[in-house]
Structure formats: structure tokens, C-alpha cells
A = this chain, B = another copy of it.
């Protein structure tokens, strides 16, 4: 087993990975940018290396600096977390060349699965259902339009290399097709350096269901069941759960089998996620493979009891999976809510800043993966995820109740968060009924306003708090009013 692992990431995921490393007796090396000097992942690391600079490109994405830090600190392995270098085949290759173990799949697997039409061909050949559409990319507009007509409208036009919505558009009619293909090809060229695009069937209101897989170097492949991740805003998941309320037992069996077939077809090793779209008739189609630890992996950990990060490290160290498929059972229900620094009242715009107060919920069935502490800074340079609230209970109904309790006990002050919005989504009849499609948030936000009925009590509490200036509180602290915000003199001794 490794004695030192470098965690090439920041935020809650770096903190979470380090927790498992500490349990395994593995020394952790953190890395940090200038603005992350006092970030929690630095404080939690046994050793932290400054990368210098603050932009992602010059810090968490800088392969040379990360490799140099691993060398300097004697790390035998690097865990990339998610985002940043996690799905960068070039980085994985570089690790292989340097003799450092990359905790993830081999670099050529990352590369193949990153090429969308190649991945489609691999999956199709492996017997995995893919969305009807082109298996080879093209930049020939006439060919593209002809294929679109064969597939039948509406269709989705996508970049063969891209991701993140760039070069992607829905085409509803034959008339609009040529122009859409031209625009998509141009965008793909600008963004990814390739004009190659492809056309596939567009699914309306699909559900997003993914399957967690684990594969060891000997070729043993297991699945850890599915996650339902349809509740998204800006194509980014905000609520995930498992089991999926939309899968019947036979569909669950099929989709998990398909995920195993996908992992085998790709020669997969380590932990990965096979994403599918599910149509209204229960048909499912391969979307892509995420060749890394997912943000939402904790819901799977809670219902299967498996520590996925520990398994990743063991597999990377060459240990076999000492589990069989029958050992892995879904028990109870788990829901994850992502707590971003963002404003649900304003298109979920990110809100960097300083967290002045935080109190996380706790108790039975509650897990919070977080990088928050009072006084911590949420920098503008990176993804605004602050914490993940994960709850587990015997049934979906009990889990919903637990999630509502936990959200109401989750206090973050100083930056905006969607906590009240998430609580209202979870409490909604539509969510309770399991009506979770990728359109959910757009539909729900339409009719949503935050509850302001408590404003009077809030005003009273604030007035009392202001009045207690310089009085001693129960815990022996003195409450101070900053001079710049003291409209009233001290009320010490004030009585009617």
C-alpha cells in the first residue's frame, strides 16, 4: 500500500479523500493556490504544497507543478478527485511515465471514453444501447442533414470532442438543420479545435440515471447500483438519489447489466460511472462514462455500505476486489443535496465571498461532506460547491423527511446558498411522487418564491441581538458591535 498520496484537488472532495487516507494510515499531501492558502483541504492535509498563483491553469490544472509536488513530497500516488485533472488523459499518461500511480483508470481508457463517437462505437460493439444516431463524426453538412432526416426530428447536434454544452444544440425541424449543423461545427472548431460533429435522437424530458462501477486490474467488474441525477440546473446536478424512483426491478437489472457491459467493453479499471438517459417508456441509452469519482458518490456509499474512495486506492495499489456482486445490496434510500455558493433568486448565479457563520446538521443518517468553516473564503476562481448534504433512511419517504430536517438545520451565513430552495424542492409533491426529469428545476423555479413570512421574528431577533451589544452572553463571550455598525449606544442596563 502507498504510504503517501497527493490529492490534486481542493474543496470538499479533497477533504473527503484525505479522511479515508488518514483511516488507511496513508500520509496526505495537499496542494493549494494562493487564494486557497487557508482552505480546509490545506488544514486537513498532513503536508501542503503551495502551487503559486490562483488561476486554475497555473495551479490545480498545472501538470508540471503537481508532478513536481508529488516528487518533492515522496508521494507514490495521486488522487485527482473530480474536475481539474481527473479526466485528463495526458495527466494520467504523465503519471504513468513518471512512475507515479494515477488513482483512476489507465490513460488510454480515459482518452477513448473522452472521444464521444469512439465511446459510442465501443459501447455499441459491446452490446450497450446507445442513443440512435451517427457512430462516426463528420463535418460534411449535407451528410449530417441526411443522417438527421434518417434519425427523425427532433435531433441533438453535438461536438464529437466537446462537453459542457458547447457546440450542442437541439434541432426541431428539417428546415433548421443545415444552419444548426454549421453553427455547431463552427463552435466545436473554436472550442475544441475540431469541426467534427455528430447527430443523435433528441429525447424530451429524459431522466438522467447513472450506474457506479468498480473494476480491478484482474478484470473483475462489479456495479454498485444506480443513482438518479435528473434534478439539474444549468446542466449541473443539484439533487441526486438512490435507488432511482423511476426504475422498475427489471429495468434496474438491465441498466446495471448494461453498465457492466460498458465497463468491460472499455477495459475499465478503478471506479467509474456509466451515465444513461432514460426515456418515458423505460428505454435507456448510453450517454457517457465519467472516468472518475463522482460528486454524488456518497449516496451510493450510504446505500451499499462500500467506501468507494478506499476501493479506488486499493485497486490502484493492485489489490483485488474482495467482494462479489451478491455482497452488494441496496439498503434504504439516500438523497444528496449540493450546497453551492449561489443565488437561486438570480438564475443560480455564483456568489463568492466570506462565510461568516456555519452550522452543519447532524444526527442519525446525516453526513455532510464540506469545506466550510466560519471565516473561510469562497474564492471566485473555482467551482462554487461548498458542501454536500447526504441523508440516509429506511425508505424514500423517511429519507425525504430527514433531508427536510437537515436542510432546516443547515445554517450558512455570508454567502448565498440554495438551501431554502432545496428544502422546498424536496418538500414538493412532485418530488415526493418521484417526478424527477431534467426539466424539473426549470418548471419548479417558475412558481417559486422564498418564504418571507418569518420576517417579523427575524427583525425582532436582530433587534434583540443588536441590543445585547457588549453584554455578556451565556457562554461568557462578549458581543461586540463593530464601530461602523453601531447606530445605537450600548443598551447595557436598559430597562423600560
Contact = CB atoms under 8 A, between A and B. Distances in A.
Interface of A: 15-16, 19-20, 22-25, 38, 298, 301, 305-307, 309-310, 329, 331-332, 354, 356, 360, 362-370, 374-376, 392-394, 398, 401-402, 404-405, 473-478, 480
Contacts of A368: 362
Candidate in A24, A360, A363, A369 with the most chain B CB atoms within 10 angstroms: A363
A305 B394 contact: yes
Nearest to A478: B480
Nearest to A331: B305
A16 B362 contact: no
Contacts of A38: 474
A375 B23 contact: no
Contacts of A365: 307, 367
A24 B394 CA distance: 13
A18 to B, nearest CB: 9
23 contacts: A15-B363, A16-B363, A19-B405, A23-B401, A23-B405, A24-B401, A25-B401, A298-B364, A305-B332, A307-B364, A307-B365, A307-B393, A307-B394, A329-B329, A329-B331, A362-B362, A362-B367, A362-B368, A362-B370, A364-B367, A364-B369, A375-B476, A375-B477
A315 to B, nearest CB: 15
Nearest to A408: B22
A309 B398 CA distance: 13
A374 B367 CA distance: 21
A307 to B, nearest CB: 6
Contacts of A374: 475
Contact of A364 (B301, B376, B473): B301
A428 to B, nearest CB: 16
Nearest to A362: B368
Given A38-B474, A305-B392, 19 more contacts: A15-B363, A19-B363, A19-B364, A24-B401, A25-B401, A307-B365, A307-B394, A310-B394, A360-B362, A362-B367, A362-B370, A363-B367, A363-B369, A374-B475, A375-B473, A375-B474, A375-B475, A375-B476, A376-B475
Contacts of A329: 329, 331
Contacts of A331: 305, 329, 331
Nearest to A367: B364
B405 A22 contact: yes
A24 B400 CA distance: 10
Contact of A398 (B298, B310, B369, B376): B310
Nearest to A332: B305
Contacts of A332: 305
Q: Can you list the 10 inter-chain pairs with the closest CB atoms, starting with the nearest?
A: A375-B475, A23-B401, A19-B363, A305-B332, A23-B405, A305-B331, A22-B405, A38-B474, A23-B402, A305-B394
